[in-house]
Amino acid sequence: MEIENITIAQFMRAWFKNDYSEISEKIFKVAYSEYIDTSERFANKEFELVSQIHYLNNRINCVKLCIIIQKEFINNFGKPYIPDFGSFKKFGYTLYWKNNINDFLLALTRIESTEKKNVIKLEAAKKKLIEERAKSNSGESSDLTKESRHDFIKMLNVLGKIGYKIDKDKTTVEELALIIKEETKK
């Protein structure tokens, strides 16, 4: 059986029920890889992880820089730079100046402590990206290429709701992958 002739129903039976009576496990694995590549599902999941890494890295650096600026301003002028309090607000922190340097410095220390969780998240995301890319490059199954049954069925339902007529017994996996690719580019 040629890969471009595998229907969604056959694909789902092999994937979700380990039923290889219509298509072999080997053909299924090739079809699954082609589905992921053609639909660009891999690129989307990798992009999400890379975006998370960039966001966390920028957040950590911005907060760190804002704290340094406040401390230097206090060293030079004996009070914080109040117009910059809005920079902290972007990250969910509210600062107040009550004419007490020690209280203010304590508030900055609390922010630094709270931000340590984002450093841990950043390191975990970097580690996961490296591990998943290594798995993908070695041909192993990776979280970046895995798609759950739930996600797959949900995606089929969404495509149906926006007007695609997908017949699981007639629509091929290749056609589905091209539909997904087209929809994600809109």
Structural domain spans, the chain: 3-39+148-184, 45-138
| pTM score of the predicted model | 0.55
Alpha carbon separation from 74 to 63, 78, 82, 94, 106 (Å, rounded): 17, 5, 11, 18, 13
pLDDT along the chain (186 residues), means of 10: 82 89 88 78 65 90 96 96 94 94 97 96 90 68 59 83 89 87 74
pLDDT digits (tens, 9 = 90+) for 23-70: 988 888 888 878 877 776 655 566 677 778 889 999 999 999 999 999
Alpha carbon separation from 178 to 33, 49, 73 (Å, rounded): 14, 23, 56
